[in-house]
Amino acid sequence: MPLKTSPTNGDTVRVRSKVKFSVDKLKGPMDGVRTLKPKNSNANKADRKERVDARKPRASNDGVRTLQFRDADEAHRKVGVDIGKSKRSSDGVRTLEPKKRGTKKVQSKGNGDDFVPYDNVNEKLSKFRGKDKRELKTKSRNDGFESGQKRKRTYADPEMVEDKGDVKRLVKKFTPRSMKTLVGSYIDKGKKAPRGKACEFEDSGENTSPFTGNRKFKGSELRDKKDTGGKMNGSYKLKNVQEKLRDGASKTSDKRIPHLATKKDPDHRKYTIDSVERSRKSKVQCKKSLATHSELTDRPPKKKKRGIRIDPHDTSNKRLDDDITNNGNTQEKKDLADSEVEISKNAQFRAIRPSSSILSFVDDNLLGRRREIEFRRAGYNIELPAPLDNIPFSTSSERERIEVPVFRNRLEFFAAAKISSSFPPPDLPEIAFAGRSNVGKSSLLNGLTRQWGVARTSDKPGLTQTINFFKLGPKLCLVDLPGYGFAYAKEEVKENWEELVKEYVDSRVALKRVCLLVDTKWGLKPRDHELIDLMERSQTKYQIVLTKTDLVFPIDVARRAMQIEENLKAKKSAVQPLMMVSSKTGAGMRSLRTVLANIARFAK
Ligand SMILES: Nc1nc2c(ncn2[C@@H]2O[C@H](COP(=O)(O)OP(=O)(O)OP(=O)(O)O)[C@@H](O)[C@H]2O)c(=O)[nH]1
Ligand SMILES: [Mg+2]
C-alpha cells in the first residue's frame, strides 16, 4: 500500500491494522514509492499480527505492496503454495505447486522474484481454506481445461481421438445390450470369426464392424491371459458365442477372417496389440459384456458362489453342506435311504384302516388322547387317579367297587429273583408282565389292583432289575419282569436280565400268561419279536397289551392295534384279543381285569 505522506526519520507511521512501524531509514524509491523499514522488535509484532516478515519489505515495480514469507514452508502453511518449487513458465505466468493439492497458477505482475501479491493474500487464503479448495482440486485434475468443462479422455492413439464417434461408442456404449445386438448382427450377417476367438473384432477394410479402424479385441490374447494365470478367465465363458461365430465363419471367405487379415497387415497387427494393451480397462469391459451376453442368450446366469468354503468332513456345517454330502457320500445316501424307509413306514401306518370293532372299542373305553371335558361329560371325576377305571366318583373304598373280585385282593410282594435258582416255588398260577424298559409294566400292576406304589415305578428306564413276585389273594400271582432294550444299566447287567427273563418265560411251569406290553406310540420292536419267537417255541401263551394309550390319538391307538393283530395273525401262542390300556387314565383296565381274572378262575 503506497504511502501518501512523506515521513521523516524517527516518525512513526501507521500501516494497516494498527501496526506501528518506526521509520528508521527512508530509502529513495526508484519508482516514486516509498518503502518502510522497521526499526526494532516491533517488526516481530507486525510479523505475528500481519503474518508477514516486514523486515525486508520490497517494493514492486508497479507499486504493489508485497509480502515475503520467511521460507517456503511458511508460505505453504499460509497460502498453500510451495514457493520453493515455484516455476516460471515462458509466458511470464508463475506456477506455484501446492504440496499434494494439485497445481496452482498465480499471476504475478512483478519482476519475477519469488513473491505473491500482497493484495491477493487474503483472497488466496480464503480460497484455499474454504470450498474453493475443491474447486482447485477439480481444476488441477482437469489441468489444461477451463472450469466447468468436462475432462476429456486422452488416448495414446491419435486416430482414436480423431474419430470421436467411435471412441464414444467404444468407451461409453459398450453395454450388454449393445453387445447382444452387435454379436447378433455378426451372426446374422454370417461374419467370420476364427476358432477360439470369440471377442475378436477388427477392421477388415470394409467398414462392417462398429469399431471400424479403431479397436480390436483379440480373443487369443484373452486366452493367453488365462494360460498365464491372468484375470481374463472370463473369456472362456464365451464358448457359446464362439460356436455361433464359428458357424457363421464357415459361410464367408478367407479374406474376411480377422486373424488372416492381421497376418497380411503387420502394422495393423501392431496397432491392434498396442490398442489392447493400452486400453486394458475397455478390454475388460468388453470381456465382461460378452460374457454377460453369452449368458443372456444361451443359458441362465450362473449363481455366483459365496466365499465360504465348506469342508465336507466338518459336521458342524451340516446345514450348509447338505447338498455336497448327499451327492458324494455313500454313507449319507444310505442314511437317506433309511430315512426314506422310515418315512414310508409311517406312511404305511397312516394308511391302516382299523376295523369297526376296534374303533368302537377305542371309542367306548375313551382310549387315546382325550380332552378333560370329554371325561367330565362322561361323568368321571378327573381329580382321582385313573378316573376311567370304571369307578366313577369312587370314595375311600375304591377296591370294593372293582367289579372283578380277584383284583380286590391285596397285592403283596413276596419274592425277587436275580437268577433262576432264586425263583420261588410255583404254587400259584402266575401272570407275568414283560416288555421293553419303561413301557409301563410296574405301573400296570398297580393300576390293575388300584394299589399305587406297591410296585415301584420310575420314568427312568431300567428301574426293575429283578423278577419280582406279587401275590394277589390266595389264588393268583403277578410277576413283574425286568425290561429289555434301552435302560440305564451296564450292558452285562442288561444281558443278564434278558437271559433271566428268557429262562423264566421258557421254563416256568406255573406261568399261565405273559402280558407282552407294547408302547402304543412305538409298536413292536425287534426285541419284542425275539421274545415272541421264544414264547412261540416254548408254547407259552402271551397276550399283547398296548400301554400308554393316553399319549396318542384314538385313531392311532386303533391303527396300532390293527397293525399288531395283523402281524401276529400266524402266531399260535398269541392270545386274542389284543388289549389296550392306560395306567394313567384307567382306560381299558376293566377289560384287562376281566381277561386276567378268567385265567385265575380256570387255572389249576
Ligand atoms: N402317560 C402314561 N404314562 C405311563 C403309563 N404307564 C406308565 N407310565 C409312566 O411310564 C414310566 C415308566 O413306568 P414303569 O411302570 O416304571 O415302567 P416299567 O416297564 O416298569 O419300566 P422298567 O421297570 O424300567 O422296566 C413312569 O413314569 C410311568 O408314570 C400310562 O399308561 N400313561
Ligand atoms: Mg418296572
Supply the pLDDT for residue 573: 94
Give pLDDT tens digits for 567-581: 999 999 999 999 999
Supply the pLDDT for residue 504: 95
Q: Of the spans 98-107, 137-146, 377-386, which averages the highest pLDDT?
A: 377-386
Give pLDDT tens digits for 15-67: 454 444 444 444 444 454 454 454 554 545 544 554 444 444 444 455 455 55
139 vs 145: CA distance, rounded Å: 8
Q: Does residue 429's CB lie within 6 angstroms of at least one atom of ligand 1? A: no
Task: State percent of the chain over pLDDT 70.
Answer: 41
Threshold 0.80, pTM exceeds: no
Instruction: Tell me which of 416 and 180 has the higher pLDDT.
Output: 416
83 vs 101: CA distance, rounded Å: 14
Supply the pLDDT for residue 495: 86
User: Which helix (H) or strand (E) element contains residue 477?
Assistant: strand 476-480
* Least confident span in 30-34, 110-114, 432-436, 509-513: 110-114
Q: Single out the residue of 410, 430, 588, 409 nearest to residue 515, CA to CA.
A: 430
Q: Does residue 464's CB lie within 6 angstroms of at least one atom of ligand 1? A: yes
Per-residue b/e over 299-335, b at no fewer than 16 CB within 10 Å? Answer: eeeeeeeeeeeeeeeeeebeeebeeebeeeeeebeee
- Return the C-alpha cell found at 274: 498396442
Please tell me whether the interface predicted TM-score (ipTM) of this complex is above 0.95. yes
482 vs 494: CA distance, rounded Å: 9
Supply the pLDDT for residue 501: 93
Supply the pLDDT for residue 95: 45
Q: Does residue 459's CB lie within 6 angstroms of at least one atom of ligand 1? A: yes
Supply the pLDDT for residue 48: 53
Concatenated DSSP letters of 94-140? EEE--TTS--EEE---SSS-S-EEGGGHHHHHHHHHSTHHHHHHHHH
Give pLDDT tens digits for 411-450: 999 999 999 999 999 999 999 999 999 999 999 999 999 8
* Least confident span in 162-171, 396-405, 529-538, 547-556: 162-171
Q: Does residue 586's CB lie within 6 angstroms of at least one atom of ligand 1? A: no
Taking 70 as the threshold, does the pLDDT of residue 587 lie above it? yes
Angle formed at CA 249 by CA 244 and CA 254, multiple of 5 degrees: 165
Q: What are phi and psi of 577, to 5 degrees?
A: -85, 165
370 vs 552: CA distance, rounded Å: 9
Alpha carbon of 546 to ligand 1 centroid (Å): 12
> What is the average pLDDT score of the chain?
66
Q: Does residue 547's CB lie within 6 angstroms of at least one atom of ligand 1? A: yes
Among 433, 441, 443, say which to mutate for ligand 1: greatest number of ligand atoms within 8 Å of CB: 443
Q: Which residues does residue 65 pair with via DSSP β-bridges, in sequence order?
A: 59
551 vs 548: CA distance, rounded Å: 6
What mean pLDDT do residues 163-186 have? 48
Q: What is the DSSP letter of 312?
A: T
Residue 241 burial (C-beta neighbours within 10 Å; 0-12, 13-18, 19+): buried
Alpha carbon of 442 to ligand 1 centroid (Å): 7
Q: Is the CB of residue 586 less than 8 Å from the CB of residue 446?
A: no
Alpha carbon of 465 to ligand 2 centroid (Å): 8
Angle, helices 280-298/266-278, rounded to nearest 10 degrees: 90
534 vs 530: CA distance, rounded Å: 6
